[in-house]
Amino acid sequence: MERLDIFLTKKLATSRAQIQKLIKSGAVTIGGKAATAHTLVREGDVVVHPPLSKPTKKKALTVDIPVIYEDDDVLVIDKPAGIIVHPMNETDKRTSVIGSLVPSRPALKKVGESKLRPGIVHRLDKAVSGVMVIAKNNATFEDLKRQFAERKVEKEYVALVYGRMAKDLGTIDFKIARSKTLGRMVSRPEGQEGKEASTEYEVVDRFKTATLVDVKIHTGRTHQIRTHFKAIGHPVVGDMLYHTKIVNIRPIKMDRLFLHAKRLSMTLPDQSRKTFEVPLPEPLMQILANLPRV
């Protein structure tokens, strides 16, 4: 003799929880009578149950990714804000850049060091939009990785930060490290542990409560721009992770981060130096158009 739920779990090779749910619904009978999970199954009993439906695999949603340049070696895209670049693990079914590109370019699956991030040589945060390059073969993958590591790729962003920047030009050189208590990156003053990071900025426009800046990063640390501008008291508008309440400044309402990767320069496999640029998305342009000036 054996309990009904245990008997069916073994027989149908499924979870005990699923079997108990099936029994509780009244769909399982023994000898024509409704049974419970605790009902004992004896030799010769006729157990009737409906067929179990096979679980369907949840597929990640895809979106159209604007392509601004493509050849046999590289794919250059305008990444939309709000989607991740690649899944974190095999069960991560969020919409991603890679998940949206691979169906039409299956050869990408064989590029790089991980099947989760094929062809990816650099990343943009989920909330950031703008230009990205993806390698289409392993030779290009290794070459672009080297260029990023040797800081031969020029990266330029545009950001709207809170407050009025005192200087028109400047460089932020705080080290960056992951906080053990805050769950995010933090800037560290000289003398403390952290990775070297350098962020250069130039003021493009000034508003009553915010400043528009062009930003060049000479290192590629996680959340570098967001961390550095928070450290000097000018957090990026729309940043809910590195936000700081600033006295006498009303938050600017927006559903994304005002940070856009506008330009990327690199050397392609044919040794030509190329610069790719994408304009500010329309929603960000609208934010600027509606900001009060002094």
Taking only the tens place, the pLDDT of each residue in 179-207 is 666 656 677 555 566 788 899 999 999 99
127 vs 183 pLDDT, higher one: 127
With the CA atoms of 93, 155, 131 and 186 taken in that order, what torsion angle do they form, in degrees rounded to the nearest 10? 30
Pair 198, 218: CB distance under 8 Å: yes
Task: Please compute, for residue 230, the number of CA atoms within 13 A of its CA located in the half-sphere on the CB side.
Answer: 20
Question: Which pair of structure tokens corresponds to residue 75?
Answer: 């794919």
Query: What are the start-end ranges of the H helices in 13-107?
Result: 16-24, 97-101
Q: Is 209 exposed, middle or buried (0-12, 13-18, 19+ CB in 10 A)?
A: middle
Query: What percentage of the chain reaches a pLDDT higher than 90?
Result: 60
Q: Is 29 exposed, middle or buried (0-12, 13-18, 19+ CB in 10 A)?
A: middle
How far CA 259 is from CA of 186, 193, 239, 283, in Å, comes to: 18, 27, 9, 12
Task: Please compute, for residue 133, the number of CA atoms within 13 A of its CA located in the half-sphere on the CB side.
Answer: 27
- Predicted confidence (pLDDT) per residue in 1-16, tens digit: 788 888 888 888 788 8
Look at residue 219 in the predicted model and tell me its pLDDT: 85
Domains of the chain plus CATH, in order, are: 2-48 (3.10.290.10), 57-150 (3.30.2350.10), 151-294 (3.30.2350.10)
Look at residue 266 in the predicted model and tell me its pLDDT: 96
Query: Does pTM surpass 0.85?
Result: no
How far CA 211 is from CA of 156, 168, 208, 217, in Å, comes to: 17, 10, 8, 18
DSSP class of residue 44? Answer: T
Look at residue 14 in the predicted model and tell me its pLDDT: 80
Catalytic positions are: 125
